[in-house]
Amino acid sequence: MSQVAEGVKAAGVVMEFANEFGLNMPIAREVDAVINHGSTVEQAYRGLIAEVPGHEVHGSGF
């Protein structure tokens, strides 16, 4: 691929926001881990399937 995929630069910023506000964002977390922290796609998949399903705004204060 000769172009940067949309969202690559935003992945880290999204996780900074999530961490600042105590949000659990498993998909964003795993995307950031692959893009910025050397995680493999398999590790990201395993991280996602290990996530306990819950209400989308549980504990967020929204």
d(CA 26, CA 28): 6
Angle at 35 between CA 21 and CA 24, to 5 degrees: 25
Average pLDDT across the chain, whole number: 88
Residue spans of the domains in the chain: they are 11-49
Q: Which residues contact 57 (CB under 8 A, 6 or more apart)?
A: none
pLDDT at 28: 96
With beta carbons less than 8 A apart as the criterion, state whether 5 and 11 touch: no
Tell me: pLDDT of 48 over 80: yes
Angle at 32 between CA 62 and CA 26, to 5 degrees: 45
Global pTM reads 0.77
Residue 49, φ and ψ in degrees, nearest 5: -75, -15
pLDDT at 6: 80
Assign 5 a pLDDT band (cuts: 50, 70, 90). confident
